[in-house]
Structure 1
Amino acid sequence: MSRNLYALLVGINEYPEPVSRLYGCLKDINAVEEYLLERVATDGFQLKLHKLLDQQATRQAIIDGFLQHLCQAGRNDIVLFYYSGHGGQATTPKEFEHLEPDLLQETLICYDSRTKGGWDLADKELGYLIDKVAKNNPHICIILDSCHSGSGTKDPLLETKVRRGSIDRRERPLNSYIFQPEELETIWLPCSNPEKYRSGWNLPQGRHILLAACRDFQEAKDEINNERRGAFSYCLMETLRNNGNKLTYQDLLRQTNSLLYSYFNQQSPQIEVYSSDDEDDENQVFLDGAIAERQSYFMVSYNKECNDWVIDGGAVHGIPRPSKGETTFLAMFPSNCKDLRDPSKSVGEAEVTEVLQSLSKVEISGLENLTKERQFKAVVTRLPLPRLGIYFDGEKAGVNLARQALKSAHLGKPSIYVDEEQELTKAEFRLLCSNNQYLIVRPNDDHPLVEQIDSYTIENAEKVIRRLEHIARWQTIVKLQSPPTSSIKPGDIKMKIFSEDNKELSQSNGICLEYKYKEGKFSEPIFRLSITNNSDKTLYCNVFDLSGLFAVKAAFFKTTLEIKPNSQPHFSRRLKNSIPKPLLKPGITEYKDIFKLIVSTEDFDAKLMEQDKLDAPREKYQTRSLYKQGTLNRFMDRVQNRDVGSASEEMYEDWYTEQVVVTTVHP
């Protein structure tokens, strides 16, 4: 069954006075029409096009375009309303004041809106029209290249470069609206979440997607790249031209925003989805309606304000700041690349040099003829492994030997796991030298975490540094988090813990497992785990026990699990948790473990993470062709060995982590 694409395109340059003239709107509409003709030729749609330009674009003509043209669309069809012109604001009638906290309604300024007897097309009227079109459930996209953040004062750039009209302060009669006041109450709800709709438009009824040129306090530029065009429309069409027809709305806006930011840093396009909460409309293909597979990535572009290359992810997106020679690396791909897991399609590498709030500066390598107009997709391939900060404290003889051992701990060079921290408040652990003993303790607690080492000798100093490196590897795994570009989300995989009598244990405040008194003695608590894949893709996972004595063991499953989508839960064997006997003797009755779940889209080698409890020697584990060398396997290997080899990955997989603290209690 062929699909129809009903398009209503409105562009206005020549406004009657007193509205200022624009210059790029007709070019915008011509570019959109050209794109639609190419799109239908490729995808086989039947294009039903209606254009209104300049004096044709009266208020009534736009209303008729909705009611007589767009309302013909049926369930399998697509609707596009594209407006390029002035936006504005108008005084809200008293009857609607409860819907507008600022007493101003957002509007589109039609050709005749500011003439005698003319009115803007108010947001409530646009919402009413969208609701009419939505009755037959077509796929609806609304694109507005305008702005309405006027203060009522005249902007010196207004006549040539900004798409914003003045506020209409006339008192508007109720009978000038296209609906009756009682109808409004049934289709309009005040915005309960203003932060969700940051364009300023709030069109709550009729399932649709809105693409707006800017936020409510910004201006939509009417000039870009020395061309009289709407800046938003120009970047939108450039993005579509360079990426084909299979971009999702979310990807389209993101790449458009990135391109626009390379020209202006004060115009941020917005995407707003009006549908039920369980819909995934922003991940539908642009002007299609089909849900596309999500691929998480960052955009790399040149930022004029920073005067540097950046990714559109910063501290708020989970990008860790560079620390002590360690930073984040990303593989770069062409902006139209569809497969971001194939290293052969990568065109370069980006190294994070500075992390800002919502952006990160990067240094690009491996690319020739790099121009500032280019854009790239990027996925994280390597996360920083910062060294563990240790504060050296106490008797000088012990401290001096420990410093000497630290400087030659790695093949005659300084340790790659541990750094001396000069301020106690910044340290994670403290090496306390007291009474001719080395003690590893917390910063504000003198209780030793592992067995003390007697006597200050260079051999013992080297031994305590090795212990600290062991703890550093354990600590790195504890802190291991999902990479910011992972497509595996919370809820895709579920880990549950069950007691001996098969009751699920709540993980909200950690889990407490207690010894039970049976037949005249205390018995270790028995439990088991289950793992469930709730996603639509095959996932690989394993659970690690990070013990209180700094061991790391994949103790729950014999091998990494391969779990098909939406399959039955996978249960571990029944296990006992206990407090080590050397700890029970001095009266320690609580012992903490961390159960860490690691999930990947590719198989991985759990043995790369394992290490014994302290004081047991550990030989470097090596693997040969058992597993593909993906980013997760290489990360695991770096946790233990910190090799910085040049071997390239065979794939860039997604991965995800979560963990729960388990306390074992002996009465």
Structure 2
Amino acid sequence: MAKVYALFVGIDDYPAGRWAKLGGCLNDIEAGRRWLEERLDAPPAVRVLTDRGATVAAVTDAITRHLGKAGPGDKAFLWFSGHGTEYDVSSPAERFVEATGKCQALVCSDGPLPDKRLGALLDGIAARGAHVSAVLDCCFSGGATRDPVDAVARYAPPLPEWTTLPQHAPPAARDTGDPARGPRHVLLAGCRLDQRAYERKYGGRAHGVFTHALLGALRAAPPGATYREVLAAAHARVQTDERFQHPVLAPADPGGIADTPVLGGAVRPPAPHLLRYGPDGWEVDCGGVHGLRAGAGAARGTAFTVTGDHGGPAVRAREVHPTRTLVTPDGWTPDRARAYPVAPSSLALPPLAVRLEGPDAKAVARALATAGPGGRPSPFVRVGDGAHPDGLRRVVTGGGRAHILRRDGSPAVDPLPLTGPADARRVARCLVHLARWHQLHALDNPASPLAGLVRVEVVPWGRWGAYGRASVAPDATGDLVCRYSGGPGCPRPPEVTIRIHNHANRALWAVLIDLTDTYAARTHLYPGHFIGARRTGHVFDGEVVELSLPPGRAEKPGAEARDWLKLVVAENEINTAPFRLERWDPYADAHESARGDTAGPDHDAPDGVLHLAVPGADRDLGPSRRRGPGQWWATTVPVRTVVPPLTGRGA
């Protein structure tokens, strides 16, 4: 039967004249021990070191001899509450591993225990098969420190002789493999490596702010809650007391030890984001740096859905900050003591900014003012003030024409007639169409942990098929160039196969969107399927793809067509309806009127929001069909199909 070995170290009574005394560290470890014993079915093997007895040698020995008894399947748990410190590195070698130029350390009763040395000791226990976790409530603990008033910082000023201490474990041999894949311990630290951790009085009893928050989050957490979920809830609680103290989870790699239940268990799929109650109300731990639109009104349309065992309820964004989004629960009341895993179910996308110029600019502006749903302004386009012309598209009117120009001044489409209100509405419809296309083209989520795990490969097809052939390599511009073959009079379009390789260790869902230079977006190549771990999906089930010029474009020397293959990858199925858009047709409005159609391309997404959740799920299908995509990522592969120019003496 698995056994739990626990070591609790608390130091309030530091040597007088060297470092300030603290008042809540012994309370911390007493409360932590009580939580642990309540949590377990069988009593843990506990060792406690306090005050003057918690020397560097005693702590090191207890880790080695007591926690070191943990073998395969056992659990080793360390809790340290006391001072922390930092001091300048003393050798060139240390500068390679201490990016801040400082060494961080726990302060035992007689001096520092460097964090790198502590980490090596704990990883050594993990290497023997034990699940190892540590809680450090001290200043600078995010690298591996508490001040006096109403809140007291647990910080000990360094002594000059500390710069000569050995800091790191011996270097590993070159053939030991990837250290990221080796055994690791999980760390719950009270603050970042450049911050101080504080203690306060709660109900007349002093505790570390982090300890108080962490124990509250642990007791409120549901069975099976992961370290990541508990730390997120504790982080929000800390922020209500100390805005400048940010707890840290390490290592935080998705799908690793941080996503195991507290005190061990099987890895759970990581939540894309976490909903928690913070000092400003409910918030989700992502924001502008994660790709969400920031600024006034940008939160409109962005929503998140609770996933996992609580799948179904939603929250809607009300304010986007750089690293968090303030949200409002939609028709439900979450428990403030808990953190909930959430995934984005819809995203508000930025409108296309345009500048209107010329004598008929007002007519186009009037048409745009009613180009949206219900006769309101279109959410896809906004008229710019010209303050930043490099970031705008331009519409130049005059002489009965409207010229829609790209940023570089080249025409985006052929000139459109502009002689009356009907023509102005066509110009507005074109701008909305281009805006939707560009939103899909720009779709990105660069901070996603799925980035780079799935790749698109385009392979030429020849007499012996595609087997064994090298994939098309990008040219100097980054495009994959595929050329027609055959001489004048009998050009043959290039034939290729397109593969989607999943390099992840789990199945991922993928859709391949073909964005064309006719401003169409189609999902016919790979409409959306799960691809198994380290397996390959094949466009058209491996059949040949012919890259021919679009109808109406002559296959003459020098002619070309452009496609942008947009790959969207997610942990769960995504709604692909917003990814479909017919090519731009200036006369489509007349065709639709003649047929009596009421639905067109602009009706697929009238609100300017990218709806990622699968729509209209039946109750019988279960809640998973209504959840967001989980983690997701998008990348673009530009492809250029070219009819080579004539060569020879007359060329």
TM over 0.5: yes
CA distance in 1, matches of 2:610, 2:134: 52
Q: Is 2:545 the partner of 1:575?
A: yes
**Partner residue, 1:12:** 11
Q: Which runs of 5+ in 2 are unaligned?
A: 173-181, 618-624, 646-651
CA distance in 2, matches of 1:73, 1:211: 20
CA distance in 1, matches of 2:407, 2:112: 66
**Partner residue, 2:71:** 74
Residue of 198, 207, 210 corresponding to 1:221: 198
Asked whether the equivalents of residues 229 and 341 of structure 2 are also in contact (C-alpha less than 8 Å), the reply is no
After TM superposition, list the pairs within 5 Å mapping 1:368-383 onto structure 2. 376-383=340-347
Asked whether the equivalents of residues 344 and 628 of structure 2 are also in contact (C-alpha less than 8 Å), the reply is no
Q: Is 2:123 the partner of 1:140?
A: no
Q: CA deviation at 1:231?
A: 1.1
Q: Is 2:57 the partner of 1:84?
A: no
- AA paired with 1:401? A
**Partner residue, 2:106:** 108
- AA paired with 1:321? A
**What's the % identity of the aligned pairs?**
24
CA distance in 2, matches of 1:643, 1:279: 27
- SS of equivalent to 1:262: helix
- SS of equivalent to 1:282: helix
**Partner residue, 1:403:** 365
CA distance in 2, matches of 1:519, 1:100: 62
Q: CA deviation at 1:3?
A: 0.8
- SS of equivalent to 1:465: helix
CA distance in 2, matches of 1:185, 1:483: 34
Q: Is 2:424 the partner of 1:461?
A: yes
Residue of 502, 505, 513 corresponding to 2:472: 505
Asked whether the equivalents of residues 5 and 77 of structure 2 are also in contact (C-alpha less than 8 Å), the reply is yes
Q: Is 2:21 the partner of 1:21?
A: yes
CA distance in 2, matches of 1:209, 1:157: 30
After TM superposition, list the pairs within 5 Å mapping 1:70-219 onto structure 2. 70-88=67-85, 106-111=104-109, 113=110, 119-123=111-115, 126=118, 129-130=121-122, 133=125, 136-147=128-139, 157=148, 161-170=152-161, 187=170, 207-219=184-196
Cα shift readout 1:4-44 (whole Å, capped 9, x = no counterpart)? 11111111223342343222112211221122112221xxx
**Partner residue, 1:609:** 580
Call closer, same or farther: CA 1:373–1:462 in 2, change over 3 Å.
same
**Partner residue, 2:621:** none
Asked whether the equivalents of residues 300 and 378 of structure 1 are also in contact (C-alpha less than 8 Å), the reply is no
Asked whether the equivalents of residues 326 and 385 of structure 1 are also in contact (C-alpha less than 8 Å), the reply is no
- SS of equivalent to 2:39: helix
Cα shift readout 1:473-505 (whole Å, capped 9, x = no counterpart)? 222222233597x77x13443322112233312
> TM-score by structure 1 length?
0.77
Q: Which runs of 5+ in 1 are unaligned?
A: 114-118, 150-154, 190-204, 624-634
Q: Is 2:31 the partner of 1:65?
A: no
**Partner residue, 1:352:** 318
Bigger mean CA deviation after superposition, 52-61 or 137-146: 52-61
Call closer, same or farther: CA 1:643–1:563 in 2, change over 3 Å.
closer
Cα shift readout 1:59-115 (whole Å, capped 9, x = no counterpart)? 44333322332222212221112111222457988999889979975443334x2xx
Q: CA deviation at 1:167?
A: 2.2
Asked whether the equivalents of residues 328 and 351 of structure 1 are also in contact (C-alpha less than 8 Å), the reply is yes
Residue of 589, 606, 616 corresponding to 2:559: 589
- Number of residues paired by the alignment? 598
**Partner residue, 1:240:** 218
Bigger mean CA deviation after superposition, 462-471 or 84-93: 84-93
- SS of equivalent to 1:255: helix
CA distance in 1, matches of 2:552, 2:416: 16
Cα shift readout 1:545-596 (whole Å, capped 9, x = no counterpart)? 2111112223425x54354444453242322223346555999733322112
Call closer, same or farther: CA 1:432–1:535 in 2, change over 3 Å.
same
CA distance in 1, matches of 2:491, 2:233: 62
Asked whether the equivalents of residues 299 and 312 of structure 1 are also in contact (C-alpha less than 8 Å), the reply is yes
- SS of equivalent to 2:225: coil
Q: Is 2:294 the partner of 1:321?
A: yes
**Partner residue, 2:176:** none
Asked whether the equivalents of residues 385 and 639 of structure 1 are also in contact (C-alpha less than 8 Å), the reply is no
- SS of equivalent to 2:45: strand
Asked whether the equivalents of residues 213 and 269 of structure 1 are also in contact (C-alpha less than 8 Å), the reply is yes
- SS of equivalent to 1:523: coil
Bigger mean CA deviation after superposition, 531-540 or 570-579: 531-540
Q: CA deviation at 1:211?
A: 2.7
CA distance in 1, matches of 2:489, 2:92: 79
- AA paired with 1:598? V
Q: CA deviation at 1:222?
A: 1.5
Bigger mean CA deviation after superposition, 100-109 or 473-482: 100-109
Q: Is 2:292 the partner of 1:300?
A: no
**Partner residue, 1:389:** 353
Cα shift readout 1:525-544 (whole Å, capped 9, x = no counterpart)? 22221223444555443322
Q: CA deviation at 1:372?
A: 7.7
Q: CA RMSD in A?
A: 4.2
Asked whether the equivalents of residues 405 and 462 of structure 1 are also in contact (C-alpha less than 8 Å), the reply is yes
CA distance in 1, matches of 2:482, 2:157: 67
Asked whether the equivalents of residues 323 and 386 of structure 1 are also in contact (C-alpha less than 8 Å), the reply is no
- AA paired with 2:11? I
Call closer, same or farther: CA 1:159–1:93 in 2, change over 3 Å.
farther
CA distance in 2, matches of 1:328, 1:606: 17
Bigger mean CA deviation after superposition, 11-20 or 542-551: 11-20
**Partner residue, 2:179:** none
Asked whether the equivalents of residues 21 and 160 of structure 1 are also in contact (C-alpha less than 8 Å), the reply is no
- SS of equivalent to 1:70: helix
**Partner residue, 2:493:** 524
Asked whether the equivalents of residues 322 and 328 of structure 1 are also in contact (C-alpha less than 8 Å), the reply is no
Q: CA deviation at 1:458?
A: 1.8
Asked whether the equivalents of residues 249 and 286 of structure 1 are also in contact (C-alpha less than 8 Å), the reply is yes
- AA paired with 2:323? S
Q: Is 2:440 the partner of 1:477?
A: yes
- SS of equivalent to 1:449: coil
After TM superposition, list the pairs within 5 Å mapping 1:436-455 onto structure 2. 436-445=400-409, 447-454=410-417
Q: Is 2:544 the partner of 1:552?
A: no
Asked whether the equivalents of residues 323 and 384 of structure 1 are also in contact (C-alpha less than 8 Å), the reply is no
**Partner residue, 1:267:** 245
**Partner residue, 1:312:** 285
Asked whether the equivalents of residues 217 and 338 of structure 2 are also in contact (C-alpha less than 8 Å), the reply is no
- AA paired with 1:146? C
Asked whether the equivalents of residues 322 and 384 of structure 1 are also in contact (C-alpha less than 8 Å), the reply is no
Residue of 626, 648, 651 corresponding to 1:651: 626
**Partner residue, 1:631:** none
Call closer, same or farther: CA 1:439–1:578 in 2, change over 3 Å.
farther
Q: CA deviation at 1:229?
A: 0.4
**Partner residue, 1:30:** 30
Call closer, same or farther: CA 1:620–1:592 in 2, change over 3 Å.
farther
Cα shift readout 1:410-436 (whole Å, capped 9, x = no counterpart)? 454433433322216165422221332
CA distance in 1, matches of 2:433, 2:578: 16
CA distance in 1, matches of 2:89, 2:339: 43
Asked whether the equivalents of residues 324 and 386 of structure 1 are also in contact (C-alpha less than 8 Å), the reply is no
CA distance in 2, matches of 1:163, 1:659: 49
